[in-house]
Amino acid sequence: MGLFSEMLRPEPRSTGILPSQGIGELVRTGRIRSSTPIADDQIQPASIDLRLGRVAYRVQASFLPGRSSTIFTKIRNLQLAEIDLGKPALLEKGAVFIVPLIESLLLPPDIRGKANPKSTTGRLDIFTRLITEVGEEFAEFEQVPEGYSGDLYVEIVSRTFPIIVKAGAKLNQLRFMRGNPLSTDGMLKQLASKEKLVYENGNDPVEAVINRGLRISIDLEGAGRQSIIAYKAKKNAPPVDLSKVGGYDAADFWDPIPSPSSRRMVLDPGDFYLLASWERIRVPLAYAAEMEPFDASIGEFSVHYAGFFDPGFGYGAFGEITGTKAVLEVRAHEVPILLEDKQMVARLTYHKMMGAPDKVYGQAIGSSYQQQGLALSKHFRATASAALTTTQS
């Protein structure tokens, strides 16, 4: 009996995040719907890429979903402009747009979803949030309730660069789960005893520091003296066309920051940075992972809001990869923030899969960031003038 048949049983046999083959079955059985065919490359090891529809609505302000009115009623009340995405269109920096997605859902009663920006979206500082239609008293951004039936929308705010998009662009992804797949610290320690979860530069495993998830710290040393340890986005840069892979000189958009001799760095309020974790992390095939701030109550800066890691990240198909650095999207808010080398900035929580996926994160399925060092998004090409890549051994 197939995975989807098991999901429909009155007494579920397992909990966890649906793997790629389970998502494919949701597509085949009409639980994930689309007005145009869903391509195989939309289905990732533990999520599906969602596509923008043919129109974007620029609105006065973001709004919370809820029972009070439909999404389109709120759009009508707040609308400033309607933009045709049937051809490439400019979305201005700092403006709020609502876009109906091509995909819609008719979920089984025990399956829910959670969305997040794709890695490339986060590295461009494009803030996206999934919105479901009216009906839930306590509806939340990014959350799809169990048994949800209806359309999907995405809120888009590009906070650093103007962007050019068209219908079909994939900015966010949605994963599906049954029950609570989150691993406790005890379970994570057991996993770490069986599988090396953390490596340092070189091929040496190090002990995983586990406290409400796997500790993630910042790397301000890099590969040595004057190596690049961060990129700071330039103000007033030109637009980025999201369809152009390798189409831009990174030096026009980013200032590289070399490793400071003090191994300290001050973040300027309102600026956007890319940094790398000190740890090279691994996500075995029976798990997916999610980056979370180490203390959400602090509020002075945000870290890694495109925070989902597929099965096989830093691991490969057979455990042959000795970890991959996480690239951290970092923004200081109200005040300057001092970061120090190996300072803890986030935790990586591990979530059980319902089964190992038939797709594994990596080059074979077109994943862009396996075995990355400090990597910009795929839209930028490295240049000698910017010295734009730090590599890992």
**Cα(40)–Cα(47) distance, rounded to whole angstroms?**
12
Distances (CA, A) of 54 to 99, 156, 196: 8, 14, 45
- Name which of 166, 374, 132 is nearest 277 in CA terms: 374
Q: Which domains does the chain have, with CATH numbers?
A: 3-178 (2.70.40.10), 185-381 (2.70.40.10)
342 pLDDT exceeds 90?
yes
**Cα(108)–Cα(202) distance, rounded to whole angstroms?**
46
The mean pLDDT of 68-79, rounded to a whole number, is 88
34 pLDDT exceeds 60?
yes
Residue 135: which pLDDT band, with cuts at 50, 70 and 90?
A: low
Which of 20-24, 181-185, 252-256, 361-365 has the weakest average pLDDT?
361-365
Beta bridge partners of 176: 113
Q: Determine what percent of the chain is predicted with pLDDT higher than 70.
A: 84
Count of alpha carbons within 13 angstroms of residue 4, beta-carbon side: 15
pLDDT for 167 equals 98
Across the chain, what does the average pLDDT equal?
Answer: 87
The mean pLDDT of 353-369, rounded to a whole number, is 75
- Name which of 262, 296, 256, 249 is nearest 276 in CA terms: 256
242 pLDDT exceeds 50?
yes
pLDDT digits (tens, 9 = 90+) for 89-109: 999 999 999 999 999 999 999
- Name which of 280, 241, 267, 259 is nearest 120 in CA terms: 241
Residue 223: which pLDDT band, with cuts at 50, 70 and 90?
A: confident
- Name which of 325, 339, 328 is nearest 200 in CA terms: 325
pLDDT for 94 equals 95
Q: Determine what percent of the chain is predicted with pLDDT higher than 90.
A: 70
Which of 25-29, 77-81, 203-207 has the weakest average pLDDT?
203-207
**Cα(367)–Cα(356) distance, rounded to whole angstroms?**
18
Q: What is the DSSP track for 43-106?
A: B-SS-EEEEB-SEEEEESS-----SSS-HHHHHHHHEEEEEE-SS-EEE-TT-EEEEEEEEEEE
208 pLDDT exceeds 60?
yes
Residue 305: which pLDDT band, with cuts at 50, 70 and 90?
A: low
